[in-house]
Chains A and B, each alone.
Chain A
Amino acid sequence: MTALGTLRVLTLAAAGACLAGLAWLTARAFAFGRRVYLSEPRGRAGRGLLYAFGKGMADKESVSRHLPTMLGGVVYHTAIFAALLDVVWTALPVRPGPPPGVFRPVLLAGAVVGPALLAKRAAKPHLRRLSCPDDFFANLFVDVFLALAFLRTVIPSLETALLAVSILLFFYIPLGKIRHCVFFFFTRVVFGLHFGRRGALPGSESRA
C-alpha cells in the first residue's frame, strides 16, 4: 500500500475511534440516569421539540443581539461538517472522490470566519476570562484543519497534510470541547421537551 493509501486507512480508523469515543461519552452520560417527569403536562412536549430545532434556533437573544457572531457560527459549523465529509469521502475507497470545487466556497468562508471567532475570544476581556485553554486550542486546531481543507481544493498535493491533521483532529474531538457536536443535540432535545410540556415555548401551549 502507498503512503497515501495508508494515511487514508488511518484516517478512517481515526474517524471510527472518534465515533466510538463520542458513543462512549454518550453512554457514560446516560449512565447517570434519565429524568422522568412526574408532573402533569400543561403543554405539548412534541411541539416544544419542534420549536427547539426549528424557530427556537433563531428566536433567542443570543441570535438577535449577536447576529454577526451567530451567522459566523453557522458558517463555521457548516464548513466543519463539509470538511469532515470531504475528508472521509477522500479517505473512503469510493471513486470518484469529492469534486474539488464543490466545498470550496464554504471551506473558504469557514477558514476566514474561524480565526475571526478566535480573535473575538482573545480580544473581548470577559470572553477571554470566561475561556479555558481548550477554547482557544480547539478553535485554532479547527482553523488549521479548515484552511488545509480549503487549500487542498486548490493544491491537491496537500491531501497528505490534510489527512494527517484530520487524524489528529479525530482523536481530539472526544477529548475536548468539540464533543459538543453530539451533546448540543442532546441538550436541545431536553430543552424542547422540558419547556414544551410546560407550555412555556411558543406553539407548545395546550389546545385545551
Chain B
Amino acid sequence: MADATARHDPYQDKLDSLTDADLAAILAELRRRLKAPEIAAAHTCIRCGLCADACHYYLTNGELEDVPAHKLNLVLGVIKHHFLPGGRRAGGWVGARKLDKAVVREWVDALFGRCSGCGRCTVNCTSGINIHGLIRAARGALAAAGLVPPELQSTVMTAVEQGNNMGIPRDEWLETVDWIQDELRAETGDPGARIPVDEKGARLLYTVNPREPKFFPLSLLAAAKLFHAAGESWTFSSDRYDVTNYGLYSGDDSCAGLLSGRLVQAREDLGAEVLVLGECGHGFASTRWEAPQWLNRRFGFPVKSVLEVAAEYVRQGRVRLDPSKNKKPLTLHDPCNLVRLGGVVEEQRYLLENAVEDFREMTPNRRNNYCCGGGGGQLAMTRFAKRRLAAGRLKAEQIRATGAMVVVAPCHNCIDQLTELGKEYGLGTEVKTVIEIVADALVLPRKNA
C-alpha cells in the first residue's frame, strides 16, 4: 500500500496471516449481500473502460488500479468464480478469480485505498452499474473478517461504544450546548432564546456531526439561530445526536444499522415528528436511504436534511435573509452522498441564492460534481492520506477557477477535506457550511434589545 509507513503495522500482519476461515467469512458475507442487481452487474460490465475518467483518483493519478472498472472487476471476478454458473470452469477467460490472500490485498488497496464511494463512476457508467455499491459490499465482506483498516474501524467503534464518533462525554456535550445557548441569547438579544435538549414533543429532533461541538461550535450556533428565527419547536438529544455513520464507509451493516437506529429510537423516545439530519453527506445517505434496509423496517416518519427544512422556512417566509450580509464571492461544493447519491440538489442553491450576493457555481456541479476526496472514510484512514490529498487536486482546481473567496459545503467531512486542500494547494479560501452562511444572512426580529 503506497502510503503505508515503514513502521510495523499489525494490519499488514493480519493480511499476511489470513486463514481459510477468514476467506470463508469474506465469501459468506459477500454472498449474503448479493441480490439480482449485483448478479446482473456481473453479467453487464463489458470492461469498456469508459468509467475511467469519471473517477478523481484516476484523473489525478492515472494508474490502472484507479480505474473504477478495475476496482469493480476485482469484486465481480470473485463473484463470478464463487457464485455464478460456470465461473470456476471459465476462470480467467471471463475474468473470474478465486478469493485468496493476494486478492484480499488487492481489495484492501483498491477498495479502501483508492475509492471514496462517491458514485461518480456509477452515474457515468455506460450501463449504470452500481459500482460504488458493489465496492461497499466488498468492504462489508472484508469487515466480516475484521479487515477494515484499523483507523477507520476505531472511528466506527468509538461511535458504537461511546455514542458519538469523537468520544465526547455527555457532560461535555451538554456544557457546549449550554455555552452555545448563552451565545444565542447574546446574538439574538433575546434572553428567552433556548437550545432545548431532550424536550418531549418537539416537532424536530436535530442531529449534528460531533465535530461541531468539538471543533466548530459556530455551526451549532448557526443552526440554533435558524431554528430560533423560524420560531421552530425543536430539540437535541442529550445522548443520541451523532448524525455521522462510519459504518457506511467500513461496509459493516450491523454497526451502521446500530448507529442509525439510535437516532430513530431517540426520535421515537422524544416523540418528535421529523428526524432532521445536520450538514453531513454520508450521515444523510445513511439514515435517509440506507438505514431502513439495515434495520429492515419502513420508518413511517419523515427524515430530512436541515437544508430541506431551511429551504422550507425561506419559501414559507418563516425566516428572512439579507444577501448583503454575505458580500464575498462564494462557491458551493456538492457532497456526493447528499447530492449525487442523496437527491438533495437544489435546496442548498435556493438558500445561497437568497443568502449571498455573489454565488458562483463550480464546473461541473450538482450530480456531476467531483468528489472532494474526503468521503469513503478516507479522512479516517491516515494510511491513505497522500492519495486522498492528491485526488483532491481536481476539487482544488475547480474552486480556484471560480475565483471565490469562500467555499461552502453542507457536510463537515467535506469541510475538513476542503480545509486541508486549501492548505495543500494554497487556495486561501474560507470554508463554511451552508447553514452558517444562512445564519449570517438572517434578519432577526430583534437585535440587542
Interface string of A23-36 (1 = CB under 8 A from B): 00100111011110
Instruction: Say if the beta carbon of A129 comes within 8 Å of chain B.
Output: yes
Q: Does B54 contact A (CB under 8 A)?
A: yes
CA of A28 to CA of B288 in the docked complex: distance in angstroms? 31
Contacts of B49 in A (CB 8 A): 124, 126-127, 130
- Note all chain B residues with C-beta closer than 8 A to A199: 343, 345
Quote the shortest CB–CB distance from B4 to chain A (angstroms): 24
Q: How distant is the Cα of A125 from the Cα of B62 in the complex, in angstroms?
A: 12
Find the B residue at minimum CB distance from A28. Answer: B85
Could you say which residues of chain A place their CB within 8 Å of the CB of B116? Answer: none
Secondary structure dominating the interface of A: helix
Cross-chain contact A32 with B298 (CB below 8 angstroms) = no
Q: State in angstroms the CA–CA spacing of A180 and B127 once bound together.
A: 10
A81 close to B (CB within 8 Å): no
Tell me which of B17-25, B65-73, B210-218, B381-389 binds A. B65-73
Given A34-B35, A177-B46, A179-B43: A134 touches B95 (CB 8 Å cut-off): yes
Asked if B15 lies at the interface with its beta carbon under 8 angstroms from chain A, I say no
Q: Looking across the interface, which residue of chain B has its beta carbon closest to that of A24?
A: B85
Q: Is B446 an interface residue (CB 8 A)?
A: no
Closest Cβ–Cβ distance, residue B315 to chain A (whole Å): 12
Least CB separation from B120: chain A residue: A61
Q: How far is the CA of A184 from the CA of B343 in the complex (A)?
A: 24
Complex contact B40–A38 (CB within 8 A)? no
Closest residue to B52 on the A side, CB-wise?
A126
A29 with B126, Cβ < 8 A, contacts A38-B292, A132-B47, A200-B367 known: no
User: B40, A186: Cβ atoms under 8 Å?
Assistant: yes
Q: Determine which of B85, B128, B296, B341 lies in contact with A187 in the assembled complex, contact meaning CB atoms within 8 Å.
A: B128
Contacts of A46 in B (CB 8 A): none
Chain B residues with Cβ below 8 Å from A126 are 49, 52, 64, 67
Give A52 to B86 CA distance when docked, in angstroms.
31
Kindly specify which of A144-152, A155-163, A189-197 makes contact with the partner chain.
Answer: A189-197
Interface pair A34/B36, CB less than 8 Å apart: yes
Q: Which of B125, B291, B292 touches A62 (beta carbons < 8 Å)?
A: B125
> In B288-316, which residues have CB < 8 Å from any A CB?
288-293, 296-299, 302-303
A139 CB to closest chain B CB (Å) equals 10
Scan A97-134; emit 1 where CB is below 8 A from any B CB, else 0: 00000000000000000000000000011110111111
A39 within 8 A of B: yes
Given A60-B123, A177-B46, residue A35 in contact with residue B35 (CB < 8 A): yes
For this complex, into which size category does the number of interface residues on chain B fall?
35 or more
Select from chain B the residue with minimum beta-carbon distance to A66: B50
Q: Let me know if A176 is at the binding interface, CB within 8 A.
A: yes
A180–B43 touching, CB < 8 Å: yes
Closest to A65 in B: B53
The size bracket of the interface on A is 35 or more
Across the two chains, which residue of chain A brings its CB closest to B84? Answer: A28
When the two chains form their complex, are residues B64 and A25 in contact, meaning their CB atoms are under 8 A apart? no
Q: Given A34-B35, A40-B302, A66-B50, do A134 and B44 touch, yes or no (CB 8 Å)?
A: no
Task: Check A39 against B299 for contact (C-beta < 8 Å).
Answer: yes
A61 to B363, CA, bound (A): 13
* A135 contacts chain B at the CB level, 8 A cutoff: yes
Chain A min CB distance to B246 (Å):
20
* Nearest CB in chain A to that of B364: its residue: A61
CB distance from A56 to the nearest CB of B (A): 8
**Is A198 part of the binding interface, using a Cβ–Cβ cutoff of 8 Å?**
yes
- Structural contact, B293 and A135, CB atoms closer than 8 A: no
Q: Residues on A close to B: CB < 8 A?
A: 25, 28-30, 32-35, 37-40, 42-43, 52, 56, 60-63, 65-66, 69-70, 73, 124-127, 129-135, 137, 175-177, 179-180, 182-184, 186-188, 190-192, 194-195, 198-202, 204-205
- Would you give 26 A-B contacts (Cβ < 8 Å), ordered by A? A29-B36, A34-B35, A37-B293, A39-B292, A39-B293, A40-B302, A40-B303, A60-B126, A62-B125, A70-B50, A73-B48, A126-B52, A131-B47, A132-B47, A132-B94, A133-B92, A133-B93, A134-B94, A135-B46, A175-B86, A183-B41, A191-B127, A191-B129, A198-B289, A201-B367, A202-B367
Q: Chain B interface (Cβ within 8 Å of chain A)?
A: 34-41, 43-54, 64, 67, 69-70, 73, 84-86, 90, 92-95, 122-130, 288-293, 296-299, 302-303, 339-343, 345-346, 367-368
* Minimum-distance CB pairs A-B, first 6: A191-B128, A38-B292, A199-B343, A62-B50, A132-B95, A183-B43
Given contacts A65-B53, A70-B126, A184-B127, 9 further A-B contacts (CB under 8 A): A32-B38, A32-B39, A37-B292, A56-B128, A60-B123, A62-B125, A65-B50, A66-B50, A183-B43
